[in-house]
Amino acid sequence: MKKLLVPIIVLALIAFAIFKWGVGINNTIIEKEGKSVAQWANVESAYQRRADLIPNLVNTVKGYAEHEKSTLEAVIKARAEATKTTINAGELTPEKMAAFQKAQEGLSGALSRLLVSVERYPDLKANQNFLELQSQLEGTENRINTERNRFNKMAGDYNIYIAKFPINLVANFINKKALSLFKSAQGSDKAPKVEF
């Protein structure tokens, strides 16, 4: 009986050590994923701030630039598209991330066209309300970039962690997948052509 007890105790200790190792890895995965998901909320918050600024900007421009109606409508439409395209933080698949980025890029492009068209209106460019909104929008764009970069770093760290062996065995067992990252807009690797 004593001869049988020693191997059972050794096997129990090995099983307990493996269990503790797995629990430790599981907890680290959950922590890294949780931090990435929380950072995703910061990204969404920055995009929401931009979406909230747009109606005020459009209304300010509307009073000065009546014949820019199509540009204003494009901004409003792009804002609607961007705000309806959302992703649950737990479902950051490449397809959903691409759709989200496409909607946000559409809004960025419409805003750029609006701000370029404003150059034709000296009174509007001197309007304090417009200048303040434009400044807030620029600050928000910087904030969006910062939050996206932070998300990419945290999600990248998480992705690397769950891909390493033997951690990937635990990650696969608990069904944890890599998070999609933000990528640059198509064509942004080429310098814009500037003509005078």
Which residue reads 């904030």 in tokens? 143
Q: Which fold has domain 31-173?
A: de novo design (two linked rop proteins) (1.20.1440)
pLDDT tens-place string over residues 178-189: 888 887 766 554
Distance of CA 105 to the CA centre of its chain: 12
Nearest to 178 by CA among 191, 195, 161: 161
Q: Distances in Å between the alpha carbon of 42 and those of 19, 45, 55, 104?
A: 35, 5, 21, 15
pTM of the model: 0.74
pLDDT tens-place string over residues 123-154: 776 777 778 888 888 888 889 889 999 999 99
Low-confidence stretches of the chain (pLDDT < 50) are 189, 191-196
Domain extents in the chain:
31-173
